[in-house]
Structure 1
Amino acid sequence: MNKTFKIYAVIFIVVMIMLALLEVNKKETTDWRKNFDINEKSPFGLFVFNNEAEGLFKKVLKKEDRTPYEYYSLYKKKPHNIVVIENELDAESWKKILDQVSNGSDAMLIINRNVPKEISDSIGYYDSDISFEEENVLKLTDKKYQNDFVKLDKFPSGRGFSFIKPKVQILGKTVEKKNTDQANFIKIKFGMGNIYVHCEPLFLTNYYLLKPGNIKYTQNVFSYLPDRETIWFVPDGSKSSRFFMRFILSNPALKYAWWIFLGGLILFIFFNAKRKQRVVPIAEPLRNTSMDFVKSIGNLYLQEGDFHDMMAKKAQYFLNKVRMDLLIDTQNLDSEFAKKLHLKTGKPAEIIEEAIILIKKAQDPYASVLKEDLIRMNKLLDEILK
């Protein structure tokens, strides 16, 4: 076991110990989210109602996780009861429900915000936020139910019906100390059936159903439905409960252990998957010493100041280049030579004539050569061979 692996192992163990201590000392928190899930035991889940629903409905209760559109597209049903509790449905499913109600079925919609506006308009109501009070009371308008009510002391939605058509019957209200009563439970005659809409589904949650006396209000609300087969369209949460990780992820301790295990596994794979080899040293490329040699020779000639010798060597190099590349005889630097050089290089005749004069001057051992002559000849010869 190398030193690096030991360091990472120690870090991993320390992190696990810290997480374990945090988990042990963590205070249990309550999930107050309004999930309305039939499998949730949190305050605003529907676990209690789901277990008591069979006894609440005297006839057969059928829970259906398909959408109303899918269900009624496959089956033709005689008049029955329809229950929808905080279920996200598409517009086509709502239309199927309205079709069933118009043919004699009754629908109980205990729902807050999920009815499309075009559907609620066709039924005959508008709902909106009517209150921001922290507490209110749900009561039914029927005198025989006056003693049965639910006090909402935890996060009431404050929803109510701001507009109701004249023929709509008000069955329940939200009662507050500082405000006038607001309708929250209505009955609408629709074709051959009835639609019941309650806009405060909190009274069905675990928190309120477990309080003494509140179950009576729930029974009274559903008593408006006739005694016949009831179909409850529940959200598709039952399918997610079959997910093999659901139990682990729903338990905080197991969930933390699972994520720690995955994190450790990823770290282990990451650090052990790295290729293990010696560091490859950087190889410096071989240096081109030819350029250094040329610079040294150039500096030598420059220090000596022998411009004549430098012109002679430049002229010699140029004539050799002309013989090898252009195949021109350089024995006689006459007009014939100048003509051939002009034809093969395409350079102006004046430049070639001036260059030939400077070459002859470089070849004359007794000629007086200046630095300017060397510079000029070098420029001309480079221009010709360019």
Structure 2
Amino acid sequence: MNKTFKIYAVIFIVVMVILALLEVNKKETTDWRKNFDPHEKSPFGLFVFDNEAKNLFKNNLKKIEQAPYEYYNQHKKGLHNIIVIESDIDKESWKKILDQVSKGSDAMLMVSRMPKEVSDSIGYYDSDISFEEENVLKFTDKKYENDFIILDKFPSGRGFSFIKPKVEILGKTVEKKNTDQANFIKIKFGKGNIYVHSEPLFLTNYYLLKPGNVKYAQDVFSYLQDRETIWFVENNSHASRFFMRFILSKPALKYAWWVFLGGLILFIFFNAKRKQRIVPIVEPLRNTSVDFVKSIGNLYLQEGDFHDMMAKKAQYFLSKVRIDLLIDTQNLDTEFAKKLQLKTGKSIDTINEAIVLIKKAQDPYASVMKEDLARINTLLDEILK
């Protein structure tokens, strides 16, 4: 087991221990979101209502997860009741529901906001909003005057402030600081009726589990005739196809999944670089030829033998002329000067001056000065450029 793996193992164990401690000491939190989901056991889910609905409707209730548009296109129904509880229903489906009501069916809508498709068909109803933290739902019918429900947790405070003459008010919201407002109405539509309740919160788990509140729900649904009832539930089939739905729905599995992903990302991050031994730095080989030439040059300068250095420079120049320019250097005469001038393109004066200095370098008895060496070096380098 290498050192790196031990470090990863220690980090992973420490993270797991910290998460375990957090999980043990975590306080259970309550989800107060208004989801109106028949499968949710949270306070504002409809799990209790879903379980008791069959008894409430005397086993004459069908829960449909299709959109009303699809359902009614596939099924030809006689007169029946329709229930919608805070569901997101499309425009064409509302038209199908209203078509069924116009033929004699009844629809009960438990919605905090009147759908535009419905309000446009039956008349405009302005929804009034109250911000009181507590209100009471009551009936206007005297036979139900003792059946009421107190909303003490997040009431929507919605009601109907504009009521047309032909609309029957069945229920109202009573508040301490505000005047009563209608929350449960009945509208004649064609051969059927539309019932709208603006506070569906009374059907949630939190309120149905309180003693005495079930009676209010029973009274609301008693306005529907005793016949087949269809409850259109919002279709959540798109969520059920998600392959991670079970893991993410369980807190413990969800934490384990995120820890696994985090560990995997850390492992990939730290192992992204290629593992190899450190490459030693190798010094490049030095060009000793340059050092050698410098040493020889310094030696000649110290000895002061300018004549020998000038002769070697002239000898090297003539060798380059023979090899590179293919000019005979046996006789350094006028013919040689013309050929060199044609091959190099330099002026004839420069070439003649260089020839004079070359002959001086070849003469063992000639007196050579430092200036002669510098001059021949400049001229010969210029000619061979």
The alignment's TM-score, normalised by the length of structure 1, stands at: 0.77
Q: Which of the two has higher C-alpha Rg?
A: 2
Counterpart residue number, 1:71 = 71
SS at match of 1:224: coil
Counterpart residue number, 1:148 = 147
How many equivalent pairs are there?
369
Aligned 8 A contact 1:87 1:114 in 2: no
Aligned 8 A contact 2:139 2:171 in 1: yes
SS at match of 1:137: strand
Q: Which runs of 5+ in 1 are unaligned?
A: 343-350
Aligned 8 A contact 1:84 1:232 in 2: yes
> CA distance change for structure 1 residues 255 and 289 in 2, over 3 Å: closer, same or farther?
closer
The answer to whether the aligner puts 1:334 opposite 2:337 as a matched pair is: yes
What are the equivalent positions in structure 2 for 1:154-165 lying under 5 Å apart?
154-165=153-164
Q: Distance in 2 between matches of 1:233 and 1:211?
A: 26
> CA distance change for structure 1 residues 336 and 248 in 2, over 3 Å: closer, same or farther?
closer
SS at match of 2:19: helix
> CA distance change for structure 1 residues 340 and 59 in 2, over 3 Å: closer, same or farther?
same
Counterpart residue number, 1:208 = 207
What are the equivalent positions in structure 2 for 1:189-338 lying under 5 Å apart?
189-237=188-236, 249-253=248-252, 255-256=254-255, 259=258, 262=260, 266=264, 279-284=276-281, 287-290=284-287, 293-294=289-290, 297-298=293-294, 301=297, 304=301, 327-329=325-327, 331=329, 333-338=336-341
| Matching residue's letter, 1:39 | H
Aligned 8 A contact 1:137 1:176 in 2: yes
Q: Distance in 1 between matches of 2:127 and 2:296?
A: 98
Give, in angstroms, the shift of residue 265 of structure 1.
Answer: 7.3
> CA distance change for structure 1 residues 309 and 151 in 2, over 3 Å: closer, same or farther?
farther
Could you give the per-residue CA deviations for residues 35-80 of structure 1, whole angstroms, max 9, x where no partner exists? 1111111111101100111122236211111111222222222232
Larger CA deviation: 185-194 vs 48-57: 185-194
What CA RMSD, in Å, does the superposition of the two structures yield over aligned residues? 4.0
Q: Which runs of 5+ in 2 are unaligned?
A: 362-367
Counterpart residue number, 1:175 = 174
Could you give the per-residue CA deviations for residues 64-98 of structure 1, whole angstroms, max 9, x where no partner exists? 11111222222222232211112122222223222
Larger CA deviation: 217-226 vs 34-43: 217-226
Q: Distance in 2 between matches of 1:183 and 1:376?
A: 116
| Matching residue's letter, 2:293 | I
Q: Distance in 2 between matches of 1:143 and 1:212?
A: 22
Counterpart residue number, 1:347 = none
Larger CA deviation: 82-91 vs 300-309: 300-309
What are the equivalent positions in structure 2 for 1:62-101 lying under 5 Å apart?
62-101=62-101
SS at match of 2:230: strand
Give, in angstroms, the shift of residue 357 of structure 1.
Answer: 5.4
Could you give the per-residue CA deviations for residues 230-260 of structure 1, whole angstroms, max 9, x where no partner exists? 1111123478569786566544445445655
Q: Distance in 1 between matches of 2:114 and 2:258?
A: 35
Counterpart residue number, 1:346 = none
Q: Distance in 1 between matches of 2:307 and 2:118?
A: 106
Q: Distance in 2 between matches of 1:338 and 1:81?
A: 118
The alignment's TM-score, normalised by the length of structure 2, stands at: 0.77
Q: Distance in 2 between matches of 1:91 and 1:211?
A: 36
Q: Distance in 2 between matches of 1:296 and 1:135?
A: 103
> CA distance change for structure 1 residues 264 and 341 in 2, over 3 Å: closer, same or farther?
closer
Give, in angstroms, the shift of residue 24 of structure 1.
Answer: 2.3
Counterpart residue number, 1:138 = 137
Give, in angstroms, the shift of residue 212 of structure 1.
Answer: 1.6
Q: Distance in 2 between matches of 1:322 and 1:254?
A: 89
SS at match of 1:289: coil
SS at match of 2:21: helix
Aligned 8 A contact 2:95 2:117 in 1: no
